[in-house]
Structure 1
Amino acid sequence: MRGQENGPTIRSRLRRALKAALRPRGDGTVIEECRRCGTTLESTLAHCPACGCRDTAEYRIQ
Protein backbone atom coordinates (compact mmCIF):
# COMPACT_ATOMS: atom_id res chain seq x y z
CA MET A 1 0.00 0.00 0.00
CA ARG A 2 2.99 2.28 0.30
CA GLY A 3 2.99 2.89 -3.46
CA GLN A 4 -0.49 4.35 -3.22
CA GLU A 5 0.67 6.86 -0.59
CA ASN A 6 3.29 8.22 -2.98
CA GLY A 7 0.93 8.29 -5.97
CA PRO A 8 -0.45 11.82 -5.52
CA THR A 9 3.00 13.19 -4.71
CA ILE A 10 4.53 11.74 -7.87
CA ARG A 11 1.55 12.93 -9.93
CA SER A 12 1.84 16.41 -8.44
CA ARG A 13 5.54 16.59 -9.26
CA LEU A 14 4.90 15.34 -12.78
CA ARG A 15 2.07 17.83 -13.28
CA ARG A 16 4.25 20.73 -12.08
CA ALA A 17 7.11 19.64 -14.34
CA LEU A 18 4.83 19.41 -17.37
CA LYS A 19 3.27 22.82 -16.68
CA ALA A 20 6.72 24.39 -16.36
CA ALA A 21 7.94 22.77 -19.58
CA LEU A 22 4.85 23.62 -21.62
CA ARG A 23 4.18 27.09 -20.23
CA PRO A 24 4.58 29.67 -22.99
CA ARG A 25 6.95 32.51 -22.31
CA GLY A 26 6.07 36.10 -23.09
CA ASP A 27 2.85 36.73 -24.99
CA GLY A 28 2.20 33.09 -25.77
CA THR A 29 2.50 31.05 -28.91
CA VAL A 30 0.98 31.87 -32.29
CA ILE A 31 0.36 29.07 -34.77
CA GLU A 32 -0.61 29.83 -38.35
CA GLU A 33 -1.99 27.16 -40.63
CA CYS A 34 -3.61 26.84 -44.02
CA ARG A 35 -7.42 26.82 -43.86
CA ARG A 36 -7.63 24.49 -46.85
CA CYS A 37 -5.12 21.73 -46.05
CA GLY A 38 -3.99 22.40 -42.45
CA THR A 39 -0.29 22.81 -43.20
CA THR A 40 1.53 24.77 -40.48
CA LEU A 41 2.88 27.97 -42.01
CA GLU A 42 5.71 30.37 -41.26
CA SER A 43 4.38 33.85 -40.54
CA THR A 44 6.42 35.28 -43.43
CA LEU A 45 4.67 33.20 -46.10
CA ALA A 46 1.92 34.82 -48.19
CA HIS A 47 0.49 31.48 -49.34
CA CYS A 48 0.57 27.79 -48.44
CA PRO A 49 3.49 25.97 -50.07
CA ALA A 50 1.51 22.71 -50.09
CA CYS A 51 -1.69 23.82 -51.85
CA GLY A 52 -1.21 27.49 -52.83
CA CYS A 53 -4.13 28.77 -50.73
CA ARG A 54 -3.76 32.33 -49.39
CA ASP A 55 -6.35 31.92 -46.59
CA THR A 56 -4.71 31.25 -43.21
CA ALA A 57 -5.99 30.59 -39.71
CA GLU A 58 -4.17 32.00 -36.69
CA TYR A 59 -4.35 30.39 -33.25
CA ARG A 60 -3.03 32.15 -30.15
CA ILE A 61 -2.17 29.85 -27.26
CA GLN A 62 -1.66 31.54 -23.90
Structure 2
Amino acid sequence: MEKMTYLSAKTKENIKKIDKQEQELTLRTPSKKISVKKALNDIKKTKVNKKEINKTVQKER
Protein backbone atom coordinates (compact mmCIF):
# COMPACT_ATOMS: atom_id res chain seq x y z
CA MET A 1 0.00 0.00 0.00
CA GLU A 2 2.90 2.30 0.76
CA LYS A 3 4.24 1.94 -2.80
CA MET A 4 0.85 2.82 -4.26
CA THR A 5 0.70 5.96 -2.13
CA TYR A 6 4.22 6.90 -3.25
CA LEU A 7 3.38 6.32 -6.91
CA SER A 8 0.19 8.34 -6.58
CA ALA A 9 2.09 11.26 -5.05
CA LYS A 10 4.77 11.15 -7.77
CA THR A 11 2.09 11.03 -10.47
CA LYS A 12 0.36 14.10 -9.05
CA GLU A 13 3.71 15.89 -8.85
CA ASN A 14 4.52 15.08 -12.46
CA ILE A 15 1.07 16.20 -13.62
CA LYS A 16 1.67 19.55 -11.92
CA LYS A 17 5.07 19.89 -13.64
CA ILE A 18 3.55 19.12 -17.04
CA ASP A 19 0.73 21.60 -16.50
CA LYS A 20 3.25 24.28 -15.53
CA GLN A 21 5.34 23.58 -18.65
CA GLU A 22 2.25 23.73 -20.87
CA GLN A 23 1.29 27.09 -19.40
CA GLU A 24 4.79 28.47 -19.96
CA LEU A 25 4.79 27.18 -23.52
CA THR A 26 1.43 28.76 -24.35
CA LEU A 27 2.67 32.08 -23.00
CA ARG A 28 5.81 31.96 -25.16
CA THR A 29 4.14 30.64 -28.29
CA PRO A 30 2.32 33.22 -30.40
CA SER A 31 -1.35 32.57 -30.94
CA LYS A 32 -0.80 32.77 -34.70
CA LYS A 33 -1.06 29.34 -36.30
CA ILE A 34 1.88 28.20 -38.37
CA SER A 35 1.35 26.26 -41.56
CA VAL A 36 2.96 22.83 -41.35
CA LYS A 37 3.42 22.78 -45.11
CA LYS A 38 5.25 26.11 -45.00
CA ALA A 39 7.48 24.93 -42.17
CA LEU A 40 8.38 21.77 -44.06
CA ASN A 41 9.18 23.76 -47.19
CA ASP A 42 11.42 26.07 -45.17
CA ILE A 43 13.28 23.08 -43.75
CA LYS A 44 13.64 21.60 -47.22
CA LYS A 45 15.08 24.88 -48.52
CA THR A 46 17.68 25.03 -45.76
CA LYS A 47 18.73 21.45 -46.48
CA VAL A 48 19.13 22.26 -50.17
CA ASN A 49 21.23 25.30 -49.33
CA LYS A 50 23.50 23.20 -47.11
CA LYS A 51 23.96 20.67 -49.90
CA GLU A 52 24.88 23.42 -52.34
CA ILE A 53 27.38 24.85 -49.88
CA ASN A 54 28.99 21.44 -49.42
CA LYS A 55 29.26 21.03 -53.19
CA THR A 56 31.01 24.37 -53.58
CA VAL A 57 33.38 23.62 -50.72
CA GLN A 58 34.29 20.26 -52.23
CA LYS A 59 34.91 21.85 -55.64
CA GLU A 60 37.27 24.36 -54.07
CA ARG A 61 39.33 21.56 -52.52
TM-score, with structure 1 as normaliser? 0.44
Give the number of the structure whose alpha-carbon radius of gyration is greater. Answer: 2
Higher share of residues assigned helix:
2
The structure whose RCO (Cα within 8 Å, separation 6+) is larger is 1
| Greater share of residues in strand | 1
